[in-house]
Amino acid sequence: MKILVCITNVPDTTAKITFTDNDTKLNKNGVQYIIGPYDDYALARGVELKEQSGGTLTVLHVGEADADPQIRKALAIGADDAIRVNADPLDSYFVATQIAHIASQNNYDLILMGRESIDYNSGVVHGLVGEMLGIPSYSPVMKLDIDGGTATISREIDGGKEILKAPLPLVLGCQEPISEWKIPNMRGIMTARTKPLNVTEPVSVETMTVPEKYSLPAPKGACKMIPAGEAEMLIRLLQTEAKVL
């Protein structure tokens, strides 16, 4: 089985978000970058499926060279090789077009990625890639088993879950608890250095969206404290003051 896992390179979940250049650029100063947490789930399950089926796993990132440490980490976790499409990813459409282009040249059975990136939270890349390739896409996938050419998928739906059986190839957006995140071991880290990381240039894409500026939410007012002994008072305040009851 040929598996492709797409990863994003995003600020750590605890990062304080600020902007520079007149609020037109993210301030990367002091921000630690990580593999997108949902992508980490996709990667972990991809590695397990590869180990079971004896296939190959390629990891793909659309972005600039500053993501190479995260790509190396994915190689250390168990990917066989990596592709980086060398571009500043402008929007989901651009990223999806690059992924679909690489995928169309390589006939993957399974394309896994996170349900969304935690920077733009769009959750649309898997659907775009699926449609561009003309294959089904499902998200968010919480359980995935492959038997021959068929996937059994358990995915979250509003207020519950649904179990599907679908023929490969598929594009899937993953989330927990599809697998446990994997931490690279020493051997993995050493071998990752020798695994191929191929850098390719992007294919051209029509511009769909142009970023203009960023802003931060208005600061929160102070919290009104209510003594525990007078907890009932809260209900009255929620009704008369906050007007939410």
Partner 1 sequence: MSVLIYVELDNGSIKKTSLEAVAYGARVAEQLGEKATVLAVGKAETAELEKAGSYGAVNVLHAADEKLSHENGLAYADALVQAAQQEGSKVIILSKSGLGDAMAARAAAKLKAGVVSGVTALPDTNGAFKVTRSIFTGKAFATAEIKSDVKILVVKKNAIEIDESQLTGTAATVKSFSPQLRDSDFKATVQNVEKADSELSLTEAEIIVSGGRGMKGPEHWQPLLDLAKALGAATGCSKPVSDLDWRPHHEHIGQTGIKVAPSLYIACGISGAIQHLAGVNGSKCIVVINKDPEAPFFKAADYGIVGDVFEVLPKLTEAAKKLK
Residues in 181-240 that interact with partner 1 by CB under 8 A: 206-217, 220-221, 223-228, 231-232, 234-239
* 36-55 residues near partner 1, rule: CB under 8 A: 37-38
37 binds ligand FAD (CB under 6 A): yes
Among 13, 24, 191, 239, binds ligand FAD (CB under 6 A): 13
Name which of 72 and 126 has its Cβ closer to partner 1.
126
Which among 125, 118, 122, 153 is positioned nearest to 45, based on CA atoms? 153
Q: How many Å apart are CA 54 and CA 16, to the nearest integer?
A: 41
**58 touches 81 (CB < 8 A):** yes
* 50-89 residues near partner 1, rule: CB under 8 A: none
CB of 13 to ligand FAD, least distance (A): 5
20 beta partners: 25
How far is residue 125 CA from its own chain's centroid? 9
Question: In Å, how far are 56, 102, 105, 112, 236 from 223, measured between CA atoms?
Answer: 53, 51, 56, 42, 16
Residues with Cβ within 8 Å of residue 34, at least 6 apart in sequence:
9, 10, 11, 12, 13, 70
28 binds partner 1 (CB under 8 A): no
Q: How many Å apart are CA 134 and CA 169, to the nearest integer?
A: 10
Q: Which two tokens stand for residue 155?
A: 């995915």
Name which of 13 and 209 has its Cβ closer to ligand FAD.
13
Q: In the stretch 101-140, what mask flags binding to partner 1 with x, by CB under 8 A?
A: ---------------x-xxxxxxxxxxx-xxx-x-xxxxx
Residue 167 binds which of partner 1, ligand FAD, none (CB < 5-8 A, kind-dependent)? partner 1
Which among 87, 120, 111, 99 is positioned nearest to 199, based on CA atoms? 87
Residue 118 binds which of partner 1, ligand FAD, none (CB < 5-8 A, kind-dependent)? partner 1
Name which of 203 and 226 has its Cβ closer to partner 1.
226
Residue 126 binds which of ligand FAD, partner 1, none (CB < 5-8 A, kind-dependent)? partner 1
160 binds partner 1 (CB under 8 A): yes
- List residues near ligand FAD by CB under 6 A: 13, 37
